[in-house]
Amino acid sequence: MTTPTTPATATTSAGSGPPAGSGAATTPRPERVARALVRDVALPGGAGTLALVTIDNGLDHTKPTTLGAAGMAGIAEALEGVRDRAAAGEVVAVGVTGKPYYLAAGADLTAVAAIADRRDARAIAELGHAALRLLGEMDVPTFAYINGAALGGGLELALHCTYRTVASDVSAIALPETFLGLVPGWGGCSLLPRLIGLRPALDLILTRPLANNRMTTAAQAVEMGVADVLLHPADFLEQSLVWTADVLAGRVAVRRPEPEDDASWDATIAAARSQLDARLHGARQAPYRALELVAAARTADRDTAFAAEDDVLTDLLMSDELRAGLYAFDLTTRKARRPAGAPAEDLAVPVRSVGIVGAGLMAGQLAVLMARRLRVPVAMREVDDERVAAGLAGVRSQVEGLVSKGRLSTDEGNRVLASITVSTDLGTLAGADLVIEAVTEVMAIKQRVFAQLEELVGEHTVLATNTSALSVGQMSEHLRHPERVVGLHFFNPVAQMPLVEVVRTGRSSDGAVATAFAVAKALGKTAVGVGDRPGFVVNRLLLRMLAEVAAAVEGGTPVRVADVALRPLGLPMSPFALIQLVGLPVALHVLRSLHEDLGDRYPLSPGLERLSSEGRRVVPRPDGRGAEHAVDPDIQDVFGTPGRPGSLDEAGLRDAVLGGLAEEIGLMLDEGVVGSPEQIDLAMILGAGWPFHLGGITPYLDRSGWAERVLGRRLLPPGVADVPRG
């Protein structure tokens, strides 16, 4: 029990270890253990004494507070002491806040990943409820003062309180569990819909996590009803205490939405399930399990609802889906910050100006991004005045769009426009520290561009190509200084796609490669170093997948069957929708290039060639009802009569794709395209939207048995991205 010795000043810390008999086999790293620091505060105006509980981990503010078994046990111990004092009438309210910048950043994922069996999983699920429900069952009102990031269990802690204040500068409020393969299982699924209504609760629990884990700001949280009042961060705690006193005195009344009737509730749940089916096709279990818990929240009492959350959380804590999600999360956060194989950063050439050869769509996007993020002059070159005018118009349209959406201020938009020039004079690129060619994907043209640039630029200028599949080494083989050439493969749309493939040839210098990595980092991108092999990583694997699909359709598999065969994987879009997004001519160009370099594993498709020559779409134009995501059945005519002998069904085509991908990844690793399967997964997640719940691509090939079937081995060690067996 925690009992302060002096009402205004005493501080007590709890949280040294898990409770006896908890079954928690994994204790979070000591520096991560959350502590509950309790002190008494006199509320303004003589309103009484508030017990203020501060969640802290004893580190500086740059280290987030996370909630593991030891931390939750400590919070429970502190709150039990506060509960006893509230029952004795010693305090009139309880407040909970965090250290600077964090309320709490959710569960300690290192501990979650180490949970070994269902007993341990059940223990952490029940411990979370046991600790946090104390806030909702005090004899006095409880207040959460959300002073910083409140994620997952951190937000659930606040939801258990009676009232919530939030600092206006908080930008990270979320329930990201379904993004990773869990559910908000410490009260989130049952408390939130009752607090703010079903639709906004589903937005926080499902829609935002599935939209690449989109955060909620403080202002949005107040608008939704998650928090009750928005306060200035400068004196946030002081104003929160004033607001608390006003609530206790009845000067402030907080209104909650009226409960929804059964028919409305059921209709909303049914619509949400239909949306999940349309997007996920049952490929992931966590979002569906979360929806089941939310659906039951209307009528379930607290004990029943929390027990159901314990059941689901236990199941998911022991699921491959979660382990794959945690693996993917670690790849895209911690490991992405230290790119494998990157040379020392101090070898990079300082980039004070950029040149771009070309002013088309990709070149214009690169120019705007570089001008925004690097804040340097960007000179673009085109071959004639008509293309110059089109390039300038494209740049202006981009910037005006960013300003109109509020992503750039008017002044910043004007600065970006003023820093970008387009002309027909190649000489304008002479002083650039980095020049990127973004011209037509024809080897002879790219070689000619590099030859011209070599005569023009300084000896320390780094030359880069944005090629998506061609050999960077071949482009530079006739240069006097091929060591200055690297690949910088951006993905379309440039501003949104987080991946850059940094291509190193056999002659690229460490300085040139270091410069490419440094530029990618400065642009806010994640760089993956790749070898100079056809298609690099992302395009090589995506085209292998599309080649298998196209070959099956050429062989008689109906286009409708081919379009849905991969749905059980939960990919972001169907094969034909992907072809339409990339552009059929572009996809065919890359396919021809890979066919020429890699042979019959990438067979050509006469049917797709005919569609391209006729200018036909492979999926219908958007109609606002989702038709743009399904293949146009009318394209069947270019592939002949479906159902011929040897044609594949959905399962057969799926097997062909997975076997082909396993084969290709094995070859890529043998060729040294990347140094490890993890780099392939990172590239596919960030460059192709490969799902988190699969862990990228190699964990799924391991779990499904395809890696061993095709390669005779797993790609990752057991337990890295799945639950250890045996």
Write out the catalytic residue numbers.
156, 177
- Distance, CA of 205 to CA of 195 (rounded, Å): 13
176 closest CA partner among 18, 332, 336, 337 = 332
Helix spans in 41-146 (H): 69-87, 109-113, 118-136
156 closest CA partner among 204, 215, 123 = 204
| Count of helix runs (H) and strand runs (E) in the chain | 29, 18
Element (H, E) at 224: helix 218-224
212 contacts: CB under 8 Å, gap ≥ 6: 179
Beta bridge partners of 435: 355, 463
- Distance, CA of 218 to CA of 227 (rounded, Å): 8
Cβ atoms 90, 145 nearer than 8 A: no
Which segments of 115-202 are extended strands (E)?
142-146, 149-151, 163-167, 173-174
695 closest CA partner among 420, 319, 393, 427 = 319
Task: Report residue 355 as tokens.
Answer: 């040149």
- Distance, CA of 575 to CA of 564 (rounded, Å): 8
Rg of the Cα trace of the chain? 28
Task: Report residue 128 as tokens.
Answer: 């979370």
- Distance, CA of 192 to CA of 187 (rounded, Å): 8
Sheet of 499-504, strand order: 420-423, 378-381, 354-357, 434-437, 462-465, 485-490, 499-504, 526-531
What's 474-530 look like in SS3? HHHCCCCCHHHEEEEEECCCCCCCCEEEEEECCCCCHHHHHHHHHHHHHCCCEEEEE
Crossing angle, helix 575-582 and helix 538-554, to 10 degrees? 120
Residue 232 sits at φ, ψ, to 5 deg, of -70, 140
493: cis peptide before it, omega within 30°? yes
Amino acid in position 383: V
Sheet of 173-174, strand order: 102-104, 149-151, 173-174
- Distance, CA of 449 to CA of 466 (rounded, Å): 13
Cβ atoms 464, 349 nearer than 8 A: no
462 contacts: CB under 8 Å, gap ≥ 6: 349, 433, 434, 435, 484, 486, 511, 512, 515, 516
- Roughly how many angstroms between the first and final C-alpha of the chain, as a whole number? 41
